[in-house]
C-alpha cells in the first residue's frame, strides 16, 4: 500500500508507518521554520487515530502496527520540536549530514575560542545573578543563531547551515549547563 495511507480503505485495518520523512509524516513543508502549534496540531490529531490506546481490543498484528505508527510519530515530533535536532535532521535530509556525537571536533578556530571563553565565564561565575546573566546571554545568542540558521536554509546555503548547526550545538549545551548551575544554586539557597 502507498506510504501515507493510515487505514486500509477496504477493511479499515491500521497500516504500517512506511518510510517517510518526518515533515511528510506530520504533513509539514520541508524547512527549518516550524511553528510549534502547527507541529502539535497534526501530531495530536494523528496520535488520536494511531496511538496503541485506540487498538487495545484489536488483533496482535494491528496492535503492533499501531505501536510502530505511534513510535514514528513520536520520533518525528521530538525531532522537529527541537531546533538543534531539527537542524541536524534537515541537513541530513538534504544530503549533508553532520556528526554531532563526534565531540570536540571544532574545525572552526573562531567558534572554538568563543565557546571556551563562555565556558570559562560560566565556570567562574559564583552568584545566582551572574549565572542568570550568562544564561540570558546564551539564550538570546541561541535564538539569534536559530534566526541565521533559518536564513541559511532559505537561501539554500548548506555549508553555512552546517556551520550554524555546529554553533547551535555548543550554544544549546551552554544553555543547558547554565540552567543546571542556576537550579543547583537555587536549591542550595
Partner 1 sequence: MLLQLLEPGETPAPHQNEAPRAIGIDLGTTNSVVAVARDGVVEVLKGADGRGLLASVVCYGEDGSVLVGEDARNQILVAPDHVVGSIKRLMGRGLEDVKSLAGTLPYKMDSLAEGGMVRLNVAGRVLTPVEISADILRAIKARAEAALDGAVEKAVVTVPAYFDDAARTATRDAARLAGLEVLRLVNEPTAAALAYGLDNSAEGLYAVYDLGGGTFDISLLRMEKGVFQVKATGGDAALGGDDVDHAIAEHFLAERGAEPLSAGEVKQVLMVARLAKECLTHSMGGEWMVDIGDRSTRHFLDRATLDRLALPFVERTLEICRGVVADAEVEMEDIKGVVLVGGSTRMPLVRSKVAELFGREPLSDINPDEVVAVGAALQAEALTVGSDTLLLDVTPLSLGIETMGGIVEKVIPRNQPIPVGMAQEFTTYQDGQTAMSIHVVQGEREMVDQCRSLARFVLKGIPPMAAGAARIRVAFTVDADGLLTVSARETTTGTEAQVAVKPSYGLDEEEMAKMLRDSLENARTDMTVRLLTESKVEANRSILAIRAALVADGDLLDAAERGMIETAVAKVETLLAGTDREAILAAAENMENATKGFAEKRMDQGIRKALAGVSVDKLDGAL
3-state SS, one letter per residue, for 25-42: HCCCCCCCCCCHHHHHHH
As separate numbers, helices (DSSP H) first and strands (DSSP E) second, the chain gives: 7, 0
Minimum distance between the CB of residue 88 and partner 1, rounded to whole angstroms?
15
**Which of residues 48 and 96 has its CB atom nearest to partner 1 in the complex?**
48
Q: Which is nearer to partner 1, 78 or 108 (CB)?
A: 78
Q: How far is the CB of 63 from partner 1 (least distance, A)?
A: 9
CB 74 within 8 A of CB 93: no
Min separation Cβ 44 and partner 1, Å: 5
Question: What is the binding site for partner 1 (CB under 8 A)?
Answer: 44, 47-48, 51-54, 56-57, 67, 70-71, 74-75, 77-78, 179-180, 183, 186-187
Closest CA to 149 of 179, 169, 119: 169
Find residue 7's DSSP bridge partners.
Answer: 14
Would you say 133 or 179 has its CB closer to partner 1? 179
Amino acid at each position: 500500500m502507498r506510504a501515507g495511507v493510515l487505514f486500509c480503505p477496504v477493511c479499515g485495518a491500521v497500516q504500517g508507518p512506511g518510510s517517510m520523512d518526518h515533515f511528510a509524516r506530520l504533513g509539514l513543508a520541508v524547512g527549518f521554520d516550524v511553528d510549534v502549534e502547527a507541529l502539535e496540531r497534526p501530531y495530536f490529531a494523528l496520535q488520536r487515530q494511531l496511538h496503541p490506546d485506540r487498538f487495545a481490543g484489536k488483533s496482535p498484528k494491528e496492535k503492533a502496527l499501531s505501536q510502530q505508527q505511534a513510535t514514528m510519530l513520536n520520533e518525528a515530533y521530538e525531532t522537529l520540536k527541537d531546533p538543534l535536532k531539527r537542524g541536524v535532521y534537515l541537513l541530513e535530509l538534504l544530503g549533508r549530514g553532520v556528526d554531532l556525537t563526534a565531540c570536540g571536533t571544532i574545525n572552526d578556530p573562531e567558534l572554538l575560542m568563543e565557546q571556551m571563553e563562555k565556558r570559562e565565564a560560566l565556570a567562574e561565575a559564583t552568584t545566582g545573578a551572574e549565572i542568570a546573566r550568562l544564561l540570558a546571554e546564551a539564550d538570546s545568542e541561541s535564538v539569534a543563531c536559530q534566526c541565521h540558521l533559518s536564513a541559511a536554509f532559505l537561501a539554500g546555503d548548506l555549508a553555512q547551515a552546517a556551520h550554524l548547526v555546529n554553533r547551535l550545538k555548543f550554544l544549546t549545551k551552554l544553555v543547558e549547563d547554565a540552567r543546571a548551575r542556576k537550579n543547583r544554586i537555587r536549591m542550595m539557597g
